[in-house]
Structure formats: C-alpha cells, structure tokens
Amino acid sequence: MVATIGNHDVNGRYSQTPEQAKVYYALFQEGYHVLDFGDYMSIFVLDTDHTSPIDGDQHIWLENALIERKDIPHKFAFYHVPAYPSVRKFGGKINARVRRFWVPLFERHDLTAAFEHHDHAYKRTYPIDRGNRHEGGVVYLGDGAWGVKKPRPPKNPKKVWYLAETAATQHFILVTIKGNERAFTAIDKEGKVFDSYTQKNSESGSLDQNFLTDKARRPRPT
C-alpha cells in the first residue's frame, strides 16, 4: 500500500507542518517522494499544500525527479486535490495551484497519467496539453470514490471540455502494463467494468491512446 496525504490527515487541512499530521507521518514518513520499479516504472507521490507547498521545494524536487527519469517509459503521479476536478469548481485555489506549478512539468516531462482524489466521484479526462485536449497530452483519472459511503454526482462531460467520462460510483482503477502499453480499467464495487482505455508509447516516444468507451469526439466549447 502506498498512501498520499490528504486534507483529512491534517489538523487544519492545508498549509500545516508534519506535526499537524502525526498519524500520517508515523505510518508513511514522507509527504512527497518517488518510488522506482527497476527501469520501467516510477510513481510520484505528492502533497497538495497539506504539509508541503505545491510550489517552492516540492516543485523544484518534482522537476528534477522527472528529469532524472526521462527514459522511464511508465511514469505516474498521484496526489489528493485534483487539477481537473469532477465535482468541485475548476477555479478552486488548490486546483489552480496544481495546474500552475505541476501540470506544466507533467506535460514537459511526459508523465504517463495522474491519479487525483478529493472529489468522491469517478472521472477520466481527455489527454490534456497546455490547457487543451490533445492526443499527446496527460490523462487525469480519479476522483477518490472507493471508500466513501455515497459518491457525489459529478459534472456532465457534455458540458465540461476536459471530461471524457464521469460516474457517481464507488470504484477502483486497475492498471495493467505490458511492454510499452498500458490498459486502464475502471471497475465498480460489483466488479463491473464501466470504463476503460489503452495507451502506449510509439517507437518515436509519443503517446498513442485508444479510448475504448469514448463517445464521439466533442469540440471544446468556446
């Protein structure tokens, strides 16, 4: 089990010291770090302003860690407050800080996918690059609904440019890696697959993505 810190782990929720998250730090020791699995996968565990600021030291560390792993084919990030929320407002303070400081690093250094939480619903975004849907961009999945009693109703993908799929359901996301290909499968509490897609690195290093349950391509609203 790998855990990332969230607002309910911290007395005061945001902008606190590790002393205000004693249980979390007693169990997991670090607010942000990276786990390397050989030379094929890295997982970046991040802190969305709970005990470490999104900018500053964590931002510098994240960029250097991504640069050091430029040849790793599978790079995932996970953290609590989403850059692209499925329930809460897009312009929330922490959401905006993630987009300002981390998202450009994810895009610049070829992050495979980001797992987001906090909103208590299911979401999968389109690949996003520089604030637009782009086939070579980063996909964001979430939003932390497995352990909640009642998932929240998410936004309608037809009305939000970055959302490809949403659902108000408890779920987990199974990621299967084979060579340069990754399959993401969303499974509900009854064991039913309700969303999935595949993604792979081409020989040139760019991403090819196949949204298996995607609707017809929708233009971004103006």
pLDDT digits (tens, 9 = 90+) for 68-120: 999 999 999 999 999 999 999 999 999 999 999 999 999 999 999 999 999 99
Task: Examine residue 190 and state whether it is found in any structural domain, yes or no.
Answer: no
* 43 located within any domain: yes
Show the tokens assigned to 17: 């010291």
What are the phi and psi torsion angles at 158 (to 5°)? -70, -15
Domain residues for the domain of 23 are 7-170
- Is residue 16 assigned to a domain? yes
| Inter-residue contact 138 to 130 (CB < 8 Å) | no
- Give, as one character, the DSSP assignment of residue 9: G
> For residue 32, what are its two tokens?
């942000």
Q: Which residues pair with 139 in a beta bridge?
A: 113
CATH number where 109 lies: 3.60.21.10
Domain assignment present for 69: yes
Concatenating the DSSP letter of every residue in 164-202 gives EEEE-S-EEEEEEEETTEEEEEEEETTS-EEEEEEEEE-
At 107-165, the pLDDT tens digits run 999 999 999 999 999 999 999 999 999 989 999 999 999 999 999 999 999 999 999 99
Residue 102 is assigned to a structural domain of this protein: yes
Residue 96, sorted as left (phi over 0), alpha (psi -120 to 50) or beta, turns out to be: alpha
User: Domain count of the chain?
Assistant: 1
pTM above 0.85, yes or no: yes
